[in-house]
């Protein structure tokens, strides 16, 4: 996917299956999205983009609201790709200079822009331009609703566009500092816990620093004593993820003894949601049209719940159309073949084998496998672009 340090596919772990745990009916959601799209009026996305330059704030607010709704209900990849720079800098301008309402809409639009464009040069530019602005805003903003939007957008922008390990850690550190400084605001603190865990879910245990997150286990254990339900859920989720990563020494406090048994006991007592009696994570199933998306690893479940919350009723449509989500969850949507189809275009796959000596494996892994300029990333990008062109040819041939 062209991203460093992101392990979007976690090791498959067998879990207890909940046969009836279907999150939504895909056909119903699509009907709702279609109905909502029809209510947006006849304004084209290009016209809405033009309105972001209007002097009247209410016009910009209306345009941002419509762009957000359309981006939530369907993957507007071509529009976002073609107009990426304009969308990015107009949203940043609205966020910094607009009214509170316009600022909230702008930061939400930035998060959806990251989800839509997926990994690549544009998403990295989005990270570089937006992340410092959003991190700085966490230090000064006081309104809880806006803070939640900032935290969500900072997390998803970093998740998609933060190519280097230190880029992810930098965003996590901003969220971590905010989490500790806003203890009086339970809503904001719980939102920070979810965003921090979402970014942690994308990391490998070997890449996590020993110095950044010392004291995380005691901190989240203390949050379990709160009477705020979202905070409790977030703390349980964070502790479960830390336990899943298997490197508790990187998250312990000033104790020299391992806290693994203690954390397991706490989770068993406080959360039957995360683990079943046999210490397995129950599988989550989501209906996507006629297919079933199954997620049985806790890191991916955290990613699933976070993205579902951001996309709302449009999640199922994005799961069908959005290549970023396909890569994250290794989901391959079924293609509906038309009777008028003349041919099936051939798609390319590439495999590259490199020998990396064990003695230098860790230091070379980042450069060879994750760097934005690596041959893996370039090959994947070329194939993805070619397949996107082929998809257009298939639609043309089928008369769609």
Which residues face 288 on adjacent strands?
291
Return d(Cα 35, Cα 377) in angstroms, integer: 38
pLDDT, residue 328, reads: 94
- 318 and 348 assigned to the same domain: no
Q: How confident is the model at residue 390 (pLDDT cuts 50, 70, 90)?
A: low
Q: Give me the percent of the chain exceeding a pLDDT of 70.
A: 66
Q: Give me the percent of the chain exceeding a pLDDT of 90.
A: 52
More confident residue, 232 or 259: 232
- Residue 389 pLDDT more than 80? no
Return d(Cα 336, Cα 200) in angstroms, integer: 36
pLDDT, residue 99, reads: 95
Pairs from 239-244 (Cβ < 8 Å, separation ≥ 24): 239/263, 239/266, 239/267, 240/267, 240/271, 240/274, 240/275, 240/298, 241/197, 241/200, 241/201, 241/298, 241/299, 241/302, 242/200, 242/216, 242/217, 243/267, 244/281, 244/297, 244/298, 244/299
Domain-ending residue, one of 282, 312, 329: 329
Whether 128 is covered by a domain: the verdict is yes
| Helices 216-223, 229-245: inter-axial angle, 10-degree rounding | 150
- 134 and 29 assigned to the same domain: yes
More confident residue, 354 or 52: 52
Q: How confident is the model at residue 211 (pLDDT cuts 50, 70, 90)?
A: confident
Q: What range defines the domain where residue 394 resides?
A: 338-400
Whether 200 is covered by a domain: the verdict is yes
Whether 10 is covered by a domain: the verdict is no
Return d(Cα 400, Cα 398) in angstroms, integer: 6
- Residue 338 pLDDT more than 50? no
- 271 and 159 assigned to the same domain: yes
Whether 4 is covered by a domain: the verdict is no
Q: How confident is the model at residue 253 (pLDDT cuts 50, 70, 90)?
A: confident
Q: How confident is the model at residue 378 (pLDDT cuts 50, 70, 90)?
A: low
Domain-ending residue, one of 304, 329, 354: 329
- 242 and 356 assigned to the same domain: no
CA distance readout (Å), 348 to 78, 156, 171, 380, 398? 22, 29, 36, 10, 21
- 55 and 158 assigned to the same domain: yes
The gap from C-alpha 189 to its chain's centroid, in whole angstroms, comes to: 19
- 214 and 303 assigned to the same domain: yes
pLDDT, residue 269, reads: 52
Return d(Cα 344, Cα 372) in angstroms, integer: 32
Q: In this predicted structure, which of 71-85, 150-164, 166-180, 322-336 has the lowest mean pLDDT?
A: 322-336
- 190 and 262 assigned to the same domain: yes
- 398 and 292 assigned to the same domain: no
- 397 and 380 assigned to the same domain: yes
Count of beta carbons in the 10 Å neighbourhood of residue 61: 21
Kindly write down the DSSP assignment for every residue of 163-210, as one continuous string: -SHHHHHHHHHHHHHHHHHTTT-HHHHHHHHHHHHHHHTTS-GGGS-T
More confident residue, 279 or 304: 304
Buried b (16+ CB within 10 A) or exposed e, 278-287: eeebbbbbbb
- Residue 117 pLDDT more than 70? yes
CA angle 8, 23, 266 (to 5 degrees): 65
Question: Considering its fold, how many domains does the chain have in total?
Answer: 2
Mean of the per-residue pLDDT values of the chain: 78
CA angle 189, 153, 286 (to 5 degrees): 90
Count of beta carbons in the 10 Å neighbourhood of residue 162: 27
- Residue 193 pLDDT more than 70? yes
Whether 6 is covered by a domain: the verdict is no
- Residue 72 pLDDT more than 50? yes
pLDDT, residue 366, reads: 55
Q: How confident is the model at residue 370 (pLDDT cuts 50, 70, 90)?
A: low
Q: What is the pTM of this model?
A: 0.74
């Amino acid at each position: 996917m062209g991203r460093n340090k992101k392990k979007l596919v976690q090791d498959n772990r067998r879990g207890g299956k909940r046969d009836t745990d279907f999150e939504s009916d895909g056909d119903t959601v699509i009907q709702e999205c279609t109905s909502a799209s029809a209510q947006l009026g006849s304004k084209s996305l290009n016209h809405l983009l033009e309105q972001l330059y209007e002097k009247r704030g209410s016009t910009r607010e209306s345009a941002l609201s419509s762009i957000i709704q359309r981006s939530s209900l369907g993957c507007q990849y071509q529009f976002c790709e073609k107009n990426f720079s304009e969308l990015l800098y107009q949203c940043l301008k609205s966020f910094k200079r607009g009214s509170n309402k316009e600022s909230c809409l702008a930061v939400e639009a930035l998060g959806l822009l990251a989800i839509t464009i997926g990994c690549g040069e544009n998403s990295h530019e989005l990270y570089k331009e937006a992340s410092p602005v959003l991190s700085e805003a966490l230090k000064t903003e006081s309104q809880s609703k806006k803070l939640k939007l900032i935290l969500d957008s900072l997390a998803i922008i970093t998740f998609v566009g933060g190519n280097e390990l230190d880029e992810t850690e930098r965003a996590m550190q901003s969220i971590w500092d905010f989490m500790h400084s806003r203890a009086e605001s339970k809503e904001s603190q719980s939102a920070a816990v979810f965003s921090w865990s979402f970014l942690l879910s994308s990391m490998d245990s070997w890449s996590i620093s020993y110095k950044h997150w010392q004291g995380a286990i005691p901190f989240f254990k203390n949050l379990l004593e709160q009477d705020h339900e979202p905070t409790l859920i977030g703390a349980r989720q964070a502790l479960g993820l830390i336990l899943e990563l298997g490197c508790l020494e990187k998250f312990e406090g000033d104790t020299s003894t391992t806290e693994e048994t203690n954390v397991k006991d706490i989770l068993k007592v406080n959360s039957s949601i995360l683990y079943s009696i046999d210490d397995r994570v129950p599988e989550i199933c989501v209906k996507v049209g006629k297919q079933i998306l199954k997620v049985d690893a806790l890191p991916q479940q955290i990613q699933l719940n976070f993205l579902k919350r951001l996309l709302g009723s449009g999640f199922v449509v994005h799961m069908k159309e959005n290549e970023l989500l396909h890569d994250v969850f290794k989901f391959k949507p079924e293609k509906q073949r038309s009777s008028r189809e003349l041919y099936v275009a051939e798609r390319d796959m590439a495999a590259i084998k490199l020998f990396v000596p064990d003695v230098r494996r860790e230091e070379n892994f980042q450069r060879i496998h994750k760097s934005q300029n690596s041959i893996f990333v370039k090959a994947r990008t070329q194939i993805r672009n070619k397949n996107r062109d082929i998809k257009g040819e298939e639609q043309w041939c089928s008369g769609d």
